[in-house]
Structure 1
């Protein structure tokens, strides 16, 4: 079986709130000062990555998943399950919420729901994110939204680089301007916009999804204390950040040399800082790659930080 590392050419997107850091700091060759997202590892129709190297060079990840299920542990899943993005928010994103699998299946043509998580790469001093809301009951939630009492409704929580936030379906959330983060999520593009600061895009307000939002928002919200995990560099180079039904996410800090073993159906890796090697193959900031099923021993050398995930 082909045991090569699968490197991917990502897909970048223009967004009303995007900036220039994905080009400037990560070297992605896309022009413009509104580049909001790099879909680093994705087989979603809205941004299907292309294999950069080896026997499958030029193939879309969705096609590789379909034609070579053995590379991904023959999971039997009907689509590639995860999506990894780097997001550069120059301005605030809209206040939004995602449905779960059951709601999306019925209301969004069989789509997956969207559970996601964020690892904060960089942010302003005293930065905050919107995570959760202040409504105590569904009636209060509906009233606050319908009457536009956004200051009362929206809950902001402080963040710093290295923080990790799990965003379960039903969680009101928004990334604030000046924040750079890596997102690991289910392979879904379903977002319900609750509020967009009355911004105009091409002269018109962007579509809101008030009825769907009220349907799916969890009331009351999870406590602010339980919403953010402060991760620190530890002696152990590999830290598990979360394990949930859809993914397990790890932070890997390589100072000199780290050895591990790839015994999962597949492992996704994104290099978010520095450079080094993986079993002798050069890695640099901005690289996105997949270690296929049965890859075996992994030796990382150099000085770099990697966010890895698997199912």
Structure 2
């Protein structure tokens, strides 16, 4: 009888997961403001939905409570992922959802594209986007070169420890959105809390770490050689401009790996979709209810919820800002 759920029909409902918290040299304690229970003061990341290596989230609600995301997808790939996602990616969840708290600057880094990541690491590349949830005064991010550069110029600045001088800085505020293509050199500055949506990949090439050392006096590993042919030396324009519209979905990013909309919920909003792909909602402000038939599921600020592909109609209700994520280009 214990295996009954393995053979029974899948029950579709909005699924919550237990976050996976990560200590980081640059982390702080702002994730507490999102309801995360922190045991230390250097928690830099909360992995909300992940299937990377052993970092696989566990369900916290409903009949699948205590099952892992991997177990669920193994049992019900079409129902969870969607028919087209399953065809393209197999039993892999193709996106990773995080909240990041940068108390101090992250290293200057970049991520390889799909081709390089597959060849070197048997991994996806890492295209990502950021949604700024809170920023201290004068907090900034680094994204790309101020003008088109070259490997020679880059190496010269790296050697002289002047790399930041040729990189583009953006001062940020709540609601700012940035799209980071693979190869774009970048760093999140201290004082920023953000939501990150990315391909399922944990491949990062770190090229400059502000000469920091850990508690044992050791510098973190740099990946200068690996990064050299992975960097995109062209100037980028990564900031996404948009205008919120009440009770409407506004597109932020539409790329081959994911599409992200923002919904400014002030009352109710009806959702009707096909079963090609799952949906994920990230609540960045306020709280909302997802009403399926007559059952209500809550999503509060700092929570992320997975809508299985098989669940095609429901209602959003409440006062909240939601990021809505799915894969459009399948």
**How high is the TM-score relative to the length of structure 1?**
0.93
Deviation at 1:38, TM superposition (A): 0.6
Aligned equivalents of 1:128, 1:159: Cα separation in 2: 6
Does the alignment pair 1:42 with 2:50? Answer: yes
Count of matched residue pairs:
306
Post-superposition offset of 1:194 = 0.8
> Following superposition of structure 1 onto structure 2, how do residues 210-221 of structure 1 map, counting pairs within 5 Å?
210-221=224-235
Structure 1 position 288 matched with structure 2 position 304: yes
Alignment of 1:52-67 (within 5 A): 52-67=60-75
Counterpart Cα distance in 1 of 2:71 and 2:288: 30
1:141 aligned counterpart, secondary structure: helix
**Residue deviations 1:39-58 (CA, integer Å, cap 9, x gap):** 11111125211111223211
Matches within 5 A, 1:59-98: 59-71=67-79, 72-74=81-83, 75-76=86-87, 77-78=89-90, 79-98=92-111
1:17 alignment partner in structure 2: 26
Q: Residues 1-311 of structure 1: matches in 2 within 5 Å?
A: 1-23=10-32, 25-71=33-79, 72-74=81-83, 75-76=86-87, 77-78=89-90, 79-108=92-121, 110-134=122-146, 136-202=149-215, 203-222=217-236, 226-235=237-246, 237-263=248-274, 264-279=276-291, 280-311=296-327
Shift of 1:309: 0.7
Structure 1: 5+ residue runs without aligned partners?
none
CA distance in structure 1 between the partners assigned to 2:54 and 2:190 by the alignment? 24
Contact 2:125 / 2:201 at 8 angstroms: preserved in 1?
A: yes
Judge which range, 128-137 or 231-240, deviates more.
231-240
Query: Partners of 1:151 and 1:41 in 2: how far apart?
Result: 32
User: Structure 1 residue runs of 4+, over 4 Å off?
Assistant: none
Partner of 2:161: helix, strand, or coil?
Answer: coil
Distance in 2 (alpha carbons) for counterparts of 1:116 and 1:58 = 29
Which 5+ residue runs of structure 2 have no aligned equivalent?
1-9
Distance 1:61 1:294 in 2: 16
